Chains A and B, each alone.
Chain A
């Protein structure tokens, strides 16, 4: 097996030429003719590909003194032009003329792939209509985009729900549980167990299932975590009473539920059906479960929507991931979704570790919900900053430093005087502000670690949740006193001595004026008591706007939005001929240094504007140069086929959980990365043969279900019915929406393969004409879906 990629012959007969409205220094060089050969009495001309080529034309002259004219005598296919050999004529001279796609189209494709999570058919049309600049400006002011997504509506279902489930196959009932799935409350009434498959039909084999009699250990027994449950007459579904379930810890099995033995009845094996009525409370909603031991059957009440579970602190991590993913798919405010992800991936925290820390401190079984809550709260705060035109990097950094998830993750939570833990100090400089080895050394890390001692996480009373000096709720009372797990400062553990960071250091000469040569030493005086917490705040204030930080963050933003090859710690900004990359970083840094309307430096939108208005971003240096991470790939796969249907709904959608599962398979667990360096922005870290196969499987699986992806509905919406059976037109449409930045000429051979696909049976070999298929038939549907699955399995679809 040869690893040589298709070689590019460097024999040029003549250089190609360009047709462009304007030529910039960064334009690629024109396509070169690689060879002219005689093959089978044909003259075959081969030339090199050209980025974003819309059309190639072959020009010919028979004498160099005469002008080149278009030669349409031959057949152009991909990068090959064949023409019959004209015997008896002298050799001619050839040139390749390329018409690239317009600058607006090129920039539009890049913008929708970087500022948005991939184009949708509708967004492609819209950006063509309003123009790239208008789209960028719109996205940079998300607070002005009116939006009311259903995924943001907190909904506690009202009214009594009916829940039932029949056993699969025969079972012998022995024991039945009723419990809440999370800390919270809910009303249960009319619990029935009947023989047979019809809910509620027949004698109720449970005792006191309607809760009209007082609870008695002969019927319902109550485990400790449901001890506060009681019969109530406040609400009921039928009769006068119902059971108010109150759980102080999640229920899972007998010892964490309300249960009833059925063994005294010697019930025979058979089919049985459970049913009950369930009513949410409004202050602490929770799901309920009624089931047999052995879980067959299990009758679980309806899931609370992710945002509802998140708001009431009972969410699983999947809820947070789902909510995050659905925003990326559905929101109009695409840029802010990218920025939220960027920030979360920059100030990395690790939900598993919070769970581990909280074990034994929160009710058993609820660790995951509490840990998810910590992730959600920092995410919410960052989103508020990003929605604010005055938001700065310092604002984001402060939220991270104060986040209990961070205090736990980098071990500050146990760091104390005499035994300072270096982890946070190191990563704060290495990963969150200055960048590795960019202006600090090991001694600075050791000094700085002492400053963070005493920062803790504890449960504070509800009205004291923003006061880290408040006395935490005593351990013995934790599970019974309302409060919030949040940042707390333990002055007795703080190292009160003076600290000096960056002693005698000055900003590197390479930064040039105005910063080069300036000292940036930070001296913290000895501080006792609660004043010691100021150490940490002084540090982040100092780090937030250092040139090193400006550089590193600008590099990270450019790696995220532009292309992979930006580096920190290397560029000499005083040099005369800066590379486009170094120049862009310098420009970003200057923007950072420019005070915004509120007088503060580090305004995020000021820096982003520089990036999005840069020719590096808008032209070839950025176009299609990156690889889609698992998040970007799965979301873009949904969006690529997602157009609004006139009657409501879309031609493609997802549950969010489905994307999350694929992302986990591809190695990306949102909010749960063990290493603090965040998910990689480099293609080489994501692409190998198995991840490619996994991505193809994801696309193919979705295409099997019209509720997830319906390319047939999409093409019927966008193409006139006369073209529905035209393999060329159908291929052209999908190529144009899936690869908007590639150029029709570069997709020529892919188009040929797509047409072959449409005209071949599933066995891959027998011809079967697409033009005679009934557009309402399964065969037609499979053919189109297969072709789209093929296109979305191509290497280009992995690009961003």
Chain B
């Protein structure tokens, strides 16, 4: 027996478990290879930009269920956000000049958004952002690391997988093949979302340093680069991490050359007034007057947007931290409120950016947020909230069927034993599985076939999981299945 590394052994077992063929081990399923040879895989130009809100975003203060009387000052003494005033409506629209000291009306007679998100107004009123509440998964973990892992690997309760849902979305569909940079990560270390056996991801958190330094002054940079990258094609005895190391290096030279041509340091993207920068990355571009701790985040968002617009990359994304608000979460002001403002502006700015590049690019793009869990309904003793269960997701894009989902009179049970208290009498109960939302995106936006989708999200078509058509799941929870947002 050849000395299989244990990681490849695990990976192989996983592939077998998923019912994939032996050559799927090499990341391109045989049937895809054949299909490609016959030219039957559509090389579509769809894009995804993801933002992982790390720490567990408090969904109840993001999309506020003011229609539920149990959301009140007793439940949340310092975190309570008052309902909109006047309560206009069932217009399905955000009013023109909302009162920013209260929740901002979403026009369904039940829900409002945090006033920091009011800048979303044009995107929401054009029906291009879906605000989805009560998103979770069975046997929800309240551990950051576990729950983030399940969101990222698309397999709740499976700790041992080491590939991400977005990795599989572009690998198992063959979409990654032939692209210089299928996926871009804009955070310190690559998220599990984009990790897998082959390094399909490059990391551009600091684009200007994406080049050799050189030893003999600058003059031998090319010499070093050429010889180093030639090295990556030499055979080697297998070691646990060697394949990853060699694979990562193989495309280095091409990647460096391509990045140089794009020009990622530019920041001359403006709102319609011609002066407000879309991406506040430093004092000079911060017309929005956000705190400077947002600069790093917006720099990553900008780079992600630029790469998606200028290359054949399919997926790019970053993280935003600071959502683990156990202490002093703040309602109208404070850390959570700041982040709501940044998030709202992100959606607005990205729509403007993509539309300015090319009117159809926004139609071809989906911006999606993730967060590992929502937070406790009742405020804790430190003016904050603790880890809980269901949370919220935003899905935006030119072709998204926008609106408020699962936060309305007919999808929410009100009261002290209602939806907000139905898990352990403390947590909001889920009514949507996050995999249903990903399933739609991966199938209807990226173009995966149902068979491919079943390898990206194992168990997706399984009737007992009810992910597609809804139903009662194994833990007795009724979920709605796919929402029809794509």
Contacts and interface: CB of A to CB of B under 8 A. Distances in A.
Chains A and B belong together in one complex: yes
Interface of A: 1, 3-6, 8, 28-29, 48-53, 78-79, 411, 414-416, 418-419, 421-423, 426, 430, 436, 442, 563-565, 567, 620, 623-627, 665, 667, 674-675, 677, 680, 683-694, 696-697, 700-701, 703-704, 746, 749-750, 753, 756-757, 760, 762-764, 782, 785-786, 789-790, 793-796, 798-799
Interface string B194-226: 010011111111100111111111011011101
Contacts of A563: 6, 240
A783 B3 CA distance: 38
A749 B222 CA distance: 20
B3 A620 contact: yes
B382 A411 contact: yes
B255 A689 contact: yes
B363 interface: no
A49 B235 CA distance: 7
Contacts of A416: 381
Given A419-B381, A688-B189, A696-B213, A624 B1 contact: no
Given A49-B236, A564-B7, A689-B255, A414 B381 contact: yes
29 contacts: A1-B180, A1-B251, A6-B233, A48-B235, A51-B237, A51-B238, A51-B239, A78-B235, A419-B380, A423-B386, A430-B143, A564-B240, A564-B241, A627-B245, A677-B144, A683-B240, A683-B245, A684-B162, A690-B204, A692-B252, A694-B209, A696-B224, A757-B223, A764-B220, A764-B223, A782-B215, A786-B223, A795-B232, A796-B245
A701 B180 CA distance: 28
Contacts of B190: 684-685, 688
Contacts of A677: 144-145
A411 B324 CA distance: 12
Contact of B228 (A50, A51, A674, A696): A696
Interface in B1-26: 1-3, 5-7, 10, 26
B205 A790 contact: no
Interface in B325-342: 326-327
Interface string B233-274: 111111111111111110110111000000000000000000
Given A620-B3, A688-B185, A789 B143 contact: no
Contact of B237 (A49, A564, A689, A756): A49
A28 B241 contact: no
A373 B151 CA distance: 37
Contacts of A5: 243, 246-247
Contact of B143 (A52, A436, A692): A436
B139 to A, nearest CB: 11
Given A29-B2, A746-B236, A1 B189 contact: no
A50 B246 CA distance: 17
Interface of B: 1-3, 5-7, 10, 26-28, 142-146, 159-160, 162, 176, 178-180, 185, 188-190, 195, 198-206, 209-217, 219-220, 222-224, 226-228, 230-249, 251-252, 254-256, 321, 326-327, 380-382, 386-387, 424
A701 B216 CA distance: 10
A348 B321 CA distance: 18
A414 B327 CA distance: 9
B34 to A, nearest CB: 16
A258 B28 CA distance: 70
Given A48-B2, A693-B211, 16 more contacts: A1-B254, A3-B198, A4-B26, A415-B381, A426-B142, A565-B6, A684-B162, A688-B189, A690-B205, A700-B224, A703-B215, A764-B222, A786-B223, A790-B227, A793-B228, A796-B242
B205 A28 contact: no
Contacts of B223: 757, 760, 762-764, 786
A79 B410 CA distance: 69
Contacts of B222: 763-764
B3 A790 contact: no
Contacts of A51: 3, 237-239
A782 B220 contact: yes
A53 B145 CA distance: 40
Contact of B234 (A750, A760, A785): A750
Residue from A426, A623, A750, A764 with most neighbouring chain B CB atoms (10 Å): A764
Given A29-B1, A786-B220, A793-B228, A688 B248 contact: yes
Task: Report the 7 A-B pairs with minimum CB-CB distance, sorted nearest first.
Answer: A419-B381, A764-B223, A667-B188, A782-B216, A683-B241, A795-B245, A690-B203
B32 to A, nearest CB: 13
Nearest to B326: A411
Contacts of A701: 213
A750 B231 CA distance: 7
Contacts of A691: 189, 203
A786 B215 contact: yes
Nearest to A782: B216
Given A746-B236, A763-B223, A418 B381 contact: yes
B202 A689 contact: yes
Contact of A690 (B202, B213, B380): B202
B324 to A, nearest CB: 9
B226 to A, nearest CB: 6
B215 A667 contact: no
B169 to A, nearest CB: 16
Nearest to A756: B227
Nearest to B195: A684
Residue from A677, A687, A689 with most neighbouring chain B CB atoms (10 Å): A689
Contacts of B199: 687-689
A686 B189 contact: yes
Given A51-B3, A688-B248, A689-B248, A794 B215 contact: no
A793 B1 CA distance: 32
A667 B189 contact: yes
A675 B322 CA distance: 11
Given A684-B195, A693-B210, A422 B236 contact: no
Given A624-B239, A684-B195, A799 B245 contact: yes
Nearest to B5: A625
Contacts of B256: 693
B215 A690 contact: no
Nearest to A625: B240
Contacts of B28: 3
A625 B241 contact: yes
Contacts of A688: 185, 189-190, 199, 201-203, 248
B371 to A, nearest CB: 15
A419 B243 CA distance: 50
A700 B235 contact: no
A711 to B, nearest CB: 10
Contacts of B202: 688-690
A619 to B, nearest CB: 12
Nearest to A410: B326
Given A6-B233, A690-B206, A684 B244 contact: yes
A665 B233 CA distance: 28
Contacts of B242: 624, 795-796, 799
Contacts of A48: 2, 235
Given A564-B240, A684-B195, A790-B224, A693 B382 contact: no
Contacts of A4: 26
A3 B189 contact: no
A54 to B, nearest CB: 13
Residue from B188, B199, B255 with most neighbouring chain A CB atoms (10 Å): B188
A624 B243 CA distance: 12
Contact of A567 (B145, B160, B215, B251): B160
A685 B255 CA distance: 20
Contacts of B247: 3, 5
A563 B26 CA distance: 24
A683 B244 contact: yes
Contacts of A693: 209-212, 252, 256
Contacts of B213: 696-697, 700-701
Contacts of B424: 442
B245 A3 contact: no
